[in-house]
Amino acid sequence: NRIMGLEYQTSAWQRLFLSLTFAALAAGLFSVVVLVRDATLQNQLRMADNERAELKARDMDLEHKLKRMESERAKLEVALQNEKEEKRKLSLQTTTAATAAKVAGGVLVCTVLWDMTAFLGNPFAIPGLVDNAVCGALAGIVGVVTNPSSSTEDTAVADVKS
C-alpha cells in the first residue's frame, strides 16, 4: 500500500479499526441527519398544531358572532311583528274614526236639512229628539254603506298588508 509515495503495511487489526471508524462516522452522520430531520418534523408538527388551534379559536369566534346575529335577528323580527300589529291597530282606529266622522257629519247635515224642511212646512219634520234619531239612523246606514269593506277591521288589515 502506498500513500504519497510511501509504502506502509496495514495489519488486519488496523483495517478493522479503520473500517469501524468509518462505520462509526457514517452512523454518527446518519444520526445527525435523522436528528435534524426529526427536529424539522417536530417543528412542522408544532406549527400545524398552532395553526389548528388558531383556526379552532377563529371558528368558535365566528360561531359566537353567528349566534349573536341570530339572536339580534330574532329580536328584530319580534320588533317588526310588534310594529305591524301596532300599525294594524292604528289603521283600524283610523278607519273607525273616519267612519264615525262620516256618520257624525251625516247626522249634522241631515239634522240641518230636516230642520230646514220643518221650517219650510214639512209636517213629518218634528224638531228635537225625533229628527236626531232619524238622521242618526240614516247617517249610520250611509256611513256603513259607503264603507267599501264589510267591516272596518278587514279594511285595516288590508291597509297594513299594502
- Asked if residue 84 lies in contact with residue 160, where contact means CB atoms within 8 angstroms, the answer is yes
User: Which range (17-31, 33-47, 76-90, 95-109) has the least confidence?
Assistant: 95-109
50 Cβ partners below 8 Å, 6+ apart? none
For range 97-118, the mean pLDDT: 79
How many independent structural domains does the chain possess? 1
d(CA 153, CA 160): 11
pLDDT band at residue 103, thresholds of 50, 70 and 90? confident
> Does 72 score more than 50 pLDDT?
yes
Mean pLDDT taken over the chain:
80
For the CA atoms of 44, 47, 52, 58, the dihedral, rounded to the nearest 10 degrees, stands at -150
Q: In terms of Cα–Cα distance, which of 79, 76, 87 is closest to 158?
A: 87
**pLDDT in the model for residue 117:** 77
**pLDDT in the model for residue 58:** 96
pLDDT band at residue 7, thresholds of 50, 70 and 90? low
Residue 121 DSSP symbol: T
**pLDDT in the model for residue 144:** 62
Whole domain around residue 84: which residue ranges? 2-161
Q: pTM of the entire structure?
A: 0.45
pLDDT band at residue 161, thresholds of 50, 70 and 90? low
Q: Which residue has the higher pLDDT, 5 or 107?
A: 107
How is residue 89 written as a grid cell?
291597530
Residue with cell 483495517: 15
d(CA 90, CA 109): 28
* Beta strands, E only, the chain: 2-3, 6-7
d(CA 49, CA 42): 10
- Hey, which of 12-16, 21-25, 105-109 has the most confident mean pLDDT? 21-25
> Does 2 score more than 70 pLDDT?
no
For range 26-41, the mean pLDDT: 91
**pLDDT in the model for residue 150:** 45
**pLDDT in the model for residue 69:** 97
